[in-house]
Amino acid sequence: MRAKQPSSFGLDRLRTPIGTALLVTDGDGVLRALDWEDHEPRMRDLLRLQYGAVSLKDTRAPAAIKAALKGYFKGDLDCLRTIRWRVAGTPFQHRVWTALAKIPAGTTMSYGALAAKLHAPKAMRAVGHANGSNPISVVVPCHRLIGANGSLVKYGGGLERKRWLLEHEGVVL
């Protein structure tokens, strides 16, 4: 029996106002992960959970991805929609991540509201777990989920980044 070859992805870095972002792309130039340099071990763990063995090689991310992210951080919030992304994960995680990508910039939603939207109103914790397993921060906007009482809860990149992203998008906290 032959061992499965590791998934091979490119790794690039992008300076942003809230730290250096790690950009993981595949051979087709599609974004597979976006996380923060100070959370690289967590990102590698998420990639390993989704793809098994993973090999990351320093490679420039496609210019279009970097331009869209720079545009977002300069205030053009719609730039993120131009980024092609692909994830592994379970069918439920895919449902959550697809729903996250549809939450408009400048708005928030509670975990419970997203669970209800997915026709799984009792699955708030499962939504939270899927949200926390999202490998594509910012682009798949897990930062837009908040507590039922409006509080900022749980963000893999840290609550200060979550606060900054929401305020950048015009959310009044």
Residues marked as catalytic: 142
Residues 36, 90: contact at Cβ < 8 Å? Answer: no
Query: Residue 12, Cβ neighbours under 10 Å: how many?
Result: 16
Residues 136, 99: contact at Cβ < 8 Å? Answer: no
Residues 77, 106: contact at Cβ < 8 Å? Answer: yes
